[in-house]
Each structure stands twice: as C-alpha cells, then as structure tokens.
Amino acid sequence: MPRAATNVYHFMPRFMPRCFFGLKLYPMAQIGFGKLAMLESQLRMNPDFLVVGAGVAGLRAAIELAEAGEVLVVAKDTLHESSSEYAQGGIAVALSDDDEVELHEQDTIAAGDGLCDRQAVHALVEQGPVAIQQLIEWGAAFDREGSRLAFTREGAHSRSRVLHAHGDSTGREIALTLYRKASSLPNVRFQSYAATTDLLMSQGSVCGAIVYDEATHECVPIYARAVLLATGSLGRIYLETTNPDIATGDGVAMAWRAGAEISDIEFVQFHPTALHIKGAPRFLLSEALRGEGAHLINSLGERFMGGYHPMGELAPRDVVSRAIVSELRATNAPHVFLDLTHRGCEFIRARFPRIYETCLRYGLDLGKEPAPVHPAAHYAMGGVHTDLEGHTSIHGLYAAGEVACTGVHGANRLASNSLLEGVVFGARAGAAMRESAALNASRKCVDAAEAVFPCTTEERVRRLAWDDCGIIRTGEQLESACKQLQSDRMTPYSSAGLSDYCLRNMHTIALLIARCAFARRESRGAHFRTDFPEKKQEFEKHSVVVKDHEVQFR
C-alpha cells in the first residue's frame, strides 16, 4: 500500500522547507501541550482555495490562484511522490521549425480514435508553446542541442516535437520548476496527509474536503471557497502498473460519491513496455526508447510490429499493447523484448540515464542485452467530467490533469500529451477558480456521509481488474466483474486506516470501469472487446455515469 506520512511535523519532502503556513516547525519535545494545541489549531486553517494533489496540474493551478487568496496544496504521501514524477517520455509541443500547431492537433485527434473533443484539443496545442516558454522562464532546463531545444519523436507523432529534461526525467523537472515557483508565492501553502477521503458538501455545492492524518488517526475537515481535484491516476487498481503506489483513483472516487459526472472511465491506456523482471517494479521503459530506434522482438528473436501496423514500433500505444499480448499468446512466453543494443552503451547512458541506471540495478545492461517487457496500466483517459475551464458538474468543484476528463485524449492519449495537459488545463482551472471566488464566499458545510468500506481484499480487486477489465476484454468477463464487485458487502469501520480508504476507492474505480466497459459494446482506442471487435457509430459518444444512475452515452 502507499507509504504514508508518519507525522506532519517531521515528515518532509526532500525539497520542502521546514515551515507550514508561516509557522516554524519545532521538534515535538520542545513544544509544550498548550503550544502544540495552538499549532494544531492554526494548521487546521480554512484556505480560500484547496488544491488536492501536488503534481503538475495542481501546482500550476496553485500558481494561478495565488493572487486571489490563500491557497492550500494538499499532497498524498509527499510532494515528490506523484505521477508527474514518473513521466519520462517528455512533453509534446509544436515549437520546432518543421512543426505546426495544426499538425499536433491532427495527430492528437487521430490517436483519440473518434472521441476527442476538438475544442479541448485546440486549446491544448494552441496554448502549449506559451506554456513551455513560461516554464523555461521559471527555470525549467529542457535538453538542448547547442542553444536550440532538442526535440524527439514518439509513437503516433508525425513530427519530432517531444521535449525532454535530463534525458528521461522530464516530469520531475517540470514538477520541481512549478514547486519552486509556487513555494515562492506568499499565499501558497503545502501540507502532506496520508489521504484525502471525502468532499464536504453544502446544499449541493462542494465547500471543502476531509483529510486523514495517519499519525493521529484523525479525519480533519478543511473548508474552502473552491476545491480543485488534481489527484492523478488510478493505475494501482491493476496488478501490473507503471504508476506509483499512491495512484488509487482517489479523486474520481471522491467526486463520484459526491454526485459528480464521471466520463470515459473505461478508457485505460496500457503502456506497452514496462520492465518485466522478477522482483523488480514495473518500471516504465519510455516510448522515447522506440523513438530512438528500439525494436520489439518476440521470444523467437523476430521483430513483429510490422505485421500489426504500418508505423511498426511507433504505432499508437493501444495497438502496440494488443500486439504484444497476441505475441505472448502465440509463443506462450512471459514477455517480449525491447532491443536498443545497436545504439550502444554510451548513447543509451547519455540519452536515458535514469532508465539505464535503474535497469543496471536489476542486472540488465540495455547496451548489451534487450530488456524483457510487458504491458502495464499507465494512464486514464477518462475521469471527472469537466469543461475546458475545469468546472465539474458540481458547483465549487474543479478538476485538472489526469483525474479530469476534458475529452482532450479521446479514446487513446497521444504520447507525451499528459504533461502538457497538466500544465495547460491546470492553469485554465486555476484561472476559472480565481474568477469565481467571490461567488463562493459561504463556508457553511454539512458533515460528510458515513463512510462504508468493502469487505474484500486489495489483491482480489486488482486481480479482477487485471483479468476482466484489462487490455483485451469480453462482455462475459465484464459482466462477471460487475456482479462480483456489486455483491461485496459494504460496512462502516469504527477505526478505518489508510489501507481501508485506499481500498474503498480502488473498489469504486474497478466497478466504474467494469460498468462503463460493459455498456460500451464496441472496440475503440484503448477499449477492446473480442465480442464487439469493431467501432460502431452509435458509440462515437462519451460515456457518463453518475451515482445511483445507469451509464449513459452522449
């Protein structure tokens, strides 16, 4: 399960100042009980804006909000543990001499397989160049060739338009840049908690959230004029995932319990090339490796992607993932191989330092031998339904980044558009919250409903999701998953802990994916059903599901 912050006073991210809310943090032994109580009272402040999540989208929104009032950014675990940190491949933007915004737009729409919201895509690619220039002004050090930005190509891109930082640490560089900028603003504060558990409601509007502090075993209410969900991914519901342990779908699950619309949640992208070594984590081997010429070969030593798609190894991710699964079934092998040995150790070490060193720790030298790889859950195209400004279907609640569904990715995300989405739509959501702040002055909240938890295990939920809601699906499997998850008994716990809250969210997400995938009787993008293997025009619509209602398409 996710590692939890042991104590809010002494568990600090490596680059977080030892100060919260303008208060110096002292060792516990130096604080008397009266002073401790005062500090506790001040820590439970009520900000104007609450940002749940400290990845790229949350940090960018916080920067946008800082001029309008006090901003509290709540991180799960630590500030440096987010999906943004794990984004190796880069950030796509039409800035090179041979590229155009219109080409980036076309590639994004093509990858989305008929479900992209064209307005959302246009906003993403048009505002991308300005967003990148802003990051550079704030100190982001993207890789260069001499004085010029260095661009590479990745799957389904028609141009080399992907920027990297330190070879394969792009997400980390952008997150650190945004953190430094946000932390320099006097109105932005940070806090680490074990989890955010529920949204607080008042007359149908969101007015805050409840956070769980594992150190004290307390649930703490935080009230705000507006709340932004920027909680990232849900990949941990699958047995095989490239996501960090904290990616338990918290934002989507909380929003669904509050009555928000959830859209396109059946579209889960499986990255084709996760490291597949016994005892090693499912470390992502970036698509940029294939962009630099890496070949996929099966257990017989044969290249196979040419038989599945004219773009070969650079085909869209859903195509490559299904091709690998087909090869595994045909050869009865546990994995295929990603081979970049022809580029040599020196090139790989310089271009992909983080990947190279990580593989070395598990006894694999990418310059001398191919890497065993297997698809793993990587990215959620669906999530909390929003408009282009981050508004959800509930007043006072906003969402941005991977937790949100603007329709920008459609049925299948184009490689390296995720970091760009976080930056662009994080800023847009922050601006919308800032502009509407005066309308949300009331903080009269009601208590959240009593929490109930599924009587099951994390292993069972993850196995169900992987076996029945994975890369290749059938109606029979999806229906079975729905029935099994719906039949689980739900009960309140008098002393729920972090693992209980995470399991509750994972159970909710698995059921939502199963329900929406069962309702979508076609194959499109990352959603593939063997009983309905073709696209259908009547399903060229977005799925929408709301608590206590059936799945709809619109």
DSSP structural state of residue 451: P
Choose the catalytic residue: 60, 257, 282, 317: 317
Least confident of 80-89, 193-202, 261-270, 374-383: 80-89
Q: Is the pLDDT of residue 21 over 50?
A: no
Of residues 430 and 169, more confidently modeled = 430
Handedness of CA 533, 538, 540, 545 (dihedral sign): negative
What is the value of pTM for the model shown?
0.88
DSSP structural state of residue 315: S
Q: Is the pLDDT of residue 449 over 80?
A: no
Q: Are 79 and 16 in contact (CB under 8 A)?
A: yes
- Determine whether 317 is an active site residue: yes
CA angle 519–405–283, rounded 5-degree value: 95
536/409 Cα distance (integer angstroms): 19
Model confidence at 35, pLDDT cuts 50, 70, 90, reads very low
DSSP string, 210-226: EEEETTTTEEEEEE-SE
Average pLDDT of the chain is 88
Please give the average per-residue pLDDT across 188-214, as a whole number. Answer: 92
Q: Which domains does the chain have, with CATH numbers?
A: 49-267+381-444 (3.50.50.60), 271-376 (3.90.700.10), 446-543 (1.20.58.100)
The backbone region for 487, taken as left when phi is positive above 0, alpha when psi lies in -120 to 50, beta otherwise, is alpha
- Count CA atoms within 13 Å of residue 326 on its CB side: 12
Least confident of 4-13, 97-106, 192-201, 389-398: 4-13
Which tens digits make up the pLDDT trace of 240-285? 999 988 999 999 999 999 999 999 999 999 999 999 998 888 888 9
Residue 448 has what pLDDT?
64
Q: Are 131 and 178 in contact (CB under 8 A)?
A: no
318/111 Cα distance (integer angstroms): 10
AA identity, residue 194: A
Residue 15 has what pLDDT?
31
Q: Are 434 and 64 in contact (CB under 8 A)?
A: yes
Q: Are 97 and 180 in contact (CB under 8 A)?
A: no
Helix (H, G, I), strand (E, B) or coil at 524: strand
With CA atoms as reference, report the closest residue to 45 among 220, 233, 171: 220
